[in-house]
Amino acid sequence: MSKLPPVEKLPLALRKNIRDAWDNKKSGFEQQISDILTVPWTIDINPNQLFAYAEEGYAKESLGDCIASYINGAIYKLKDYVSSGGDEGLKELNSICHAHTITMDLDDANRVTYCGADVHEGKLRILFAPSRLGTNIDDALSREVLLKALNEAPAPESDGAVTLSFAARKGIRDEYENRAEEIRSQIGKILEKPDIKLTPNFEDTFTKLQQESKADSGFRSDWESILGSFTLFYWEGLINQLKSQKFDQDDLLREGFHEAVEKGEIAFRIVEKLKYSSYCECDIEDGVLYLQCTSKTWGSNIDDAAQGLLDRL
């Protein structure tokens, strides 16, 4: 369905409903949203435009109540998002939706069944499907829908550096950063090197997995959100291998490790071709120990990445 022009004049009874149920409450809704998101937000909704898509029922007869219900639902879902996402999630939303505006529009690209959302020109836009205005109102900004909208929003301009997607950043923040130091400390204790360095190389991994996901339709669809957790799993797999190979018990093994890994750095990377294994492996290059795999084998047999460590030393 193509977009329609706004209706020039609405029926008197409907104008009264819009005034009483929407216009008189709009500023209060804006204040609630601004309080939740901690910066001033506005609502930009044109009832005359929405009425062009209204059919029999709620939206047609009580458009003011209908709009208010959408915004009430949005407020509830935004509270849920902020509660679960914390300060960093709040900053992400305010940054991605930089216009700090909520609006509504027809989904003319057939992306949603009933309702949904996207970010358009920095505005958080509630979408409704053709003939579905007023249907499943409370689901328009559900957590899954909102996260998808934020993840698919245009990336902010950068100086040429790789910009991780919202889902990748959130996954790293939620699943990696809160445990990375604990894991690094465990590895340092096993190797008796407290200042051991772990380099996750998230940007390079993201770029290569993004290329793989575009080339392979069967590539797992959740790769962005688990980028952080899977990288952590590779470090945990290394811990298991270090213990299995007795690095925590043998001074000679630790000495050999430090001689070979002279930079005191362990890194993860994706390579085009593996040398020693079919899924993942370790290699030492320029004094750095690399846990590595290919884009196609990322996430497979994670615990085996450092299985050949003694051979590399």
pLDDT band at 2 (very low <50, low <70, confident <90, very high): confident
pLDDT digit string, tens, across residues 154-166 = 766 555 566 899 9
**pLDDT higher than 60, residue 134:** yes
**pLDDT higher than 90, residue 105:** yes
Handedness of CA 243, 244, 249, 254 (dihedral sign): negative
Handedness of CA 97, 103, 104, 109 (dihedral sign): negative
> Which of 96-105, 157-166, 254-263 is predicted with the least confidence, judged by mean pLDDT?
157-166
pLDDT digit string, tens, across residues 47-81 = 999 999 998 889 999 999 999 999 999 999 999 99
* 8 Å CB contact between 312 and 287: no
Percent of the chain predicted with pLDDT > 90: 92
The pLDDT value given to residue 85: 85
Mean pLDDT, rounded, of the chain: 95
> What tokens appear for 88 in the block?
């960093």
**pLDDT higher than 60, residue 90:** yes
Q: DSSP characters for the chain?
A: ----PPPS---HHHHHHHIIIIIHHHHHHHHHHHHHHSS--EEE--HHHHHTT--TTHHHH-HHHHHHHHHHHHHHHHHHHHHHHHHHHHHHHHHHTTT-EEEEEE-TT---SSEEEEEETTEEEEEE-TT-TTSSGGGTT-HHHHHHHHHHSPPPP-SSS----HHHHHHIIIIIHHHHHHHHHHHHHHHT-TT-EEE--HHHHHHHHHHHHHH-TTS-TTTTTTHHHHHHHHHHHHHHHHHHTTTTT-HHHHHHHHHHSTT-EEEEEE-SS-SS-SSEEEEEETTEEEEEE-TTTTTSSGGGTTTTHHHH-
pTM value?
A: 0.85
pLDDT digit string, tens, across residues 167-218 = 999 999 999 999 999 999 999 999 999 999 999 999 999 999 999 999 998 9
Of 228, 236, 234, residue with least CA distance to 182: 236
Residues 6+ apart with CB under 8 A from 20: 64
The pLDDT value given to residue 163: 83
Percent of the chain predicted with pLDDT > 70: 97
**pLDDT higher than 70, residue 277:** yes
